[in-house]
Amino acid sequence: MSSNAGLDIIGLMDAAEKGINSYLNEALNSSKITEAQYKDAQKNSIKHLAAWLNDANIDHLSPSLKNGLASAINAGKWEELVNAFRKKMSFGTGGIRGLMADDRESIVRLKEEGLDVPIIKGPNTLNDVVLLVTSAGVAKFGLNKGFNKIVIGYDSRTRGVDFARRISELFLHFGYTVYLFDEPCPYPEVTYAIPFLKADMGILLSASHNDYRYNGYKLSCGNGSQFDPKERTEMYNDYILHATTEDVQLCKLEDAPAGKLVFLGGAEKIADVDYFGCKIIDIHKEHCDHIKSFLLRDNRQQAGDSLNIGFCAFHGAGRKAVPRLLNETGFDHVNMITQNGLGELNGLFPSFNSNPGEEQQPDPGDPRAAKIAVETFQQEFPDEWQKLDILLGTDPDADRCGTVVKVPENQRFLYNNRDYMLMPADDMWALLVWFRLKFDKSIKPEESFIVLSHTTSDSMAKVATRFGLGVIKTWVGFAALSAGVRDAWDGCLTQDLVEGKQSEKDDLCHPYLYQTEKMAGKRVYNLAAMEQSNGFSILGLPPADDFSLGEKGHVRDKDGTFASILIAEVAKYAKENNTTIYELIDNEIYLDPEVGYFVNYYEPDPLDGEYPGIEGDRLKIAILKKAIDLNVRANRKELSFQGRAVKSSVIYRTGKYDHVYPPTEDFKFPDEGIRFYFDDAKMNHLTIRPSGTTNSLRFHVQLHSFANEGNLIDKKKELRASARAMVDEVRELINAPRSSEIEY
């Protein structure tokens, strides 16, 4: 079949060129896009669209794709076509992620009709062609390195199983042994399975906590961490960038050579899954046994002392894993939320999308997600709410864990008189550090350290140094956390690193390190790796080789299932001592005179998703330029927030997204943010940090004070209100208004 069969490609391109130029001219004249954006979009949209319409290979890979493009051209969907073809999807720190489509109708059609659905697909949307071409580049990179084994999983995203199986067929063609999960799985099981099976790489089809329109995949190396920045750059520049549809060849799963296709799952095969006569490995048991080795106490429930746990999977892959792990580690009183589909696998995330255009994210660290979970729990288990101790939640790929806790009556006014609150990960991780230092007597403080990202609270750093541990701070993301731990293991940390600066000559920060504290000596045991966005793991001691977990260490990326078990252990300890997690944090963290009270407030911008399309590009850059102007004002000592004068400020730029935002004389992308300090000790600050792969930003505020039993609640009220007001103020200054209110 010819790529032009049945379609008038010349006529379609003529109409598309006229329509796209008209749309772009109008957008430019109305200042919705810049001159530079206009030129890039005009050149690339038409070039890429012509390439796809004339690509004969696409007829075999996705036979209905061109019909979808023809329908869009005939319907005059110029903005949607520009956004799909104006560039190629960015390859970020952990892989690729993006919109499958920006409208609900298209995603519903994808769910109902399958991968070949004739919706708008292009190089800047997440679709079967983009995933296969990208995977061909990854496969060729691996072969050049001598790789021959890969683990592939998927979560609850729409058609995730189909995407995963198509990619598996590509790797089978390239001669890899493919370990394929037999149902939606947590990302942590992928990152555990890779070193357990001595595989070379792993892929999870997922868009983490993004809304239902997104998909992508997370790419892991042989030890389960994300690829080192140097290897990732090589993979992209030398292989992915040059991959084409000609590189895509498939070997059907049913035709896999003997031993080349192995399934991963539980002890028994799933009834409605075709295993094609292949072997299955019980990876669930191995992952569970590994997690059990980290428990510090006997958590088996005795009569009358059960910890009452609620769990919400948020339509994701944690729905089986977390209850199973809790039960097998001694926590047998678990009520899992099933009403409103929250316990079912559904990539449309119906609990979060009642109104098209108001898509929300199933993020367990979002207070709105917590509200959905609490209200549904109260409906489903009306007699259990008063007895509930903690309510746990994981995102669709279960690598993030959120915790809802009960609030003492005298502090409920802080939370609009609710009897519950979503515990910030910053506080939860600080408590986990404290708990493990209290009960793990094998820890040698002088040989131990923690690692956290620079937007994560200093409270856990204060707890660690109080006990004699070292601290590594990195840029955001578990790839940076893992790289920092690796440097500590290898003894090659920069001891005098201050605020990430590498050299004044090139004005670039260190690629992944921000700061070290008390890391002199032989510090080789990582007690905890933590980030503000609800990610946690323990990396342990140096591994036996480059394809292993650390000795006495867990996975080298975040694990929400693991965190759930560790949090439950702390909650059980609290209950046995007639207290709660909330009160433990007050008494053991905030009231510790060597730690103090920290409020760490966070808001995304926009609150959900991203500023859409090419117009979103312009808006994001415009906001960042205003933020850089604030830095100029700060340097002139002319800036304050909520009456706090800015003492100093700094722009953090590593250059890792220069391939997406090429530096110009008037703008260099501040990928790790712009920070304003309110004190010389640098405990109080506000940070504006942009995403490198989506049109969104993040606001982070940290405020610190010392408190006693008599004034702690007043300090909470004062600093919480001040932090929220600071974000309101900076939003007004940089023209980034909040799209809707968010409970705090």
Tokens of 444: 């040698």
pLDDT tens-digit map of 204-226: 999 988 899 999 999 999 999 99
Say whether pLDDT at 112 is over 90.
yes
Amino acid at 53: L
Split at pLDDT 50, 70, 90, the class of 358 is: low
In angstroms, the CA 479 to CA 509 distance is: 16
pLDDT tens-digit map of 267-318: 999 999 999 999 999 999 999 999 999 999 887 766 556 899 999 999 999 9
- Rounded to 5°, the CA angle 453-126-359 comes to 70
pLDDT tens-digit map of 642-681: 999 999 999 999 998 888 888 988 899 999 999 999 999 9
Split at pLDDT 50, 70, 90, the class of 495 is: low
Instruction: Please return the burial class of 105, using the count of CB atoms within 10 Å of its CB with bins 0-12, 13-18 and 19+.
Output: exposed
Mean predicted lDDT score pLDDT of the chain = 93
How high is the pLDDT of residue 543?
97
- Tokens 């021959």 belong to residue: 148
Provide mean pLDDT across the span 227-236: 86
Element (H, E) at 311: strand 309-312
Tally of CB atoms within 10 A around 163: 26
Tokens of 2: 């010819």
Say whether pLDDT at 176 is over 90.
yes
How high is the pLDDT of residue 737?
87
Q: What is the DSSP letter of 502?
A: E
What is the full DSSP assignment across 228-294? PHHHHHHHHHHTGGG--GGG-----GGGPPTTSEEEEE-SS--TT---TT--EEEHHHHHHHHHHTT
Q: What is the DSSP letter of 123?
A: T
Please name which of 77, 102, 86 lies closest in space to residue 19, comparing C-alpha atoms.
Answer: 77
In angstroms, the CA 360 to CA 350 distance is: 10
In angstroms, the CA 384 to CA 388 distance is: 6
pLDDT tens-digit map of 141-152: 999 999 999 999
- φ, ψ of residue 447 to 5 degrees: the values are -110, 10
Asked whether 704 and 683 are in contact (CB, 8 A), the reply is yes
**Integer CA distances (angstroms), 103 to 125, 208, 331, 350, in order:** 12, 19, 42, 15
Say whether pLDDT at 4 is over 90.
no
Tally of CB atoms within 10 A around 523: 23
Split at pLDDT 50, 70, 90, the class of 609 is: confident
Split at pLDDT 50, 70, 90, the class of 494 is: low
Instruction: Please return the burial class of 590, using the count of CB atoms within 10 Å of its CB with bins 0-12, 13-18 and 19+.
Output: buried
How high is the pLDDT of residue 481?
95
pLDDT tens-digit map of 497-516: 666 665 555 678 998 999 99
How high is the pLDDT of residue 659?
82
Lowest mean pLDDT among 9-23, 152-166, 359-373: 359-373
Q: What is the DSSP letter of 530?
A: E
How high is the pLDDT of residue 190?
98
Contacts of 272 (CB under 8 A, 6+ apart): none
Determine what percent of the chain is predicted with pLDDT higher than 90.
85
Give residue 136's region: left, alpha or beta (phi > 0; psi -120 to 50): alpha
Say whether pLDDT at 233 is over 80.
yes
How high is the pLDDT of residue 1?
40
Please name which of 389, 395, 376 lies closest in space to residue 419, comparing C-alpha atoms.
Answer: 389
pLDDT tens-digit map of 590-603: 999 999 999 999 99
How high is the pLDDT of residue 3?
46
pLDDT tens-digit map of 450-485: 999 999 999 999 999 999 999 999 999 999 999 999
How high is the pLDDT of residue 2?
43
**Integer CA distances (angstroms), 23 to 30, 41, 80, in order:** 11, 11, 10
Helix (H, G, I), strand (E, B) or coil at 598: strand
Domains of the chain: 1-87 (no CATH), 94-292 (3.40.120.10), 295-397 (3.40.120.10), 427-594 (3.40.120.10), 598-734 (3.30.310)
> Cα-Cα-Cα-Cα dihedral of 93, 94, 96, 100, to 10°?
-120
Please name which of 608, 613, 610 lies closest in space to residue 84, comparing C-alpha atoms.
Answer: 613
How high is the pLDDT of residue 355?
65
Output the pTM of the full model: 0.95
Tokens of 146: 């001598």
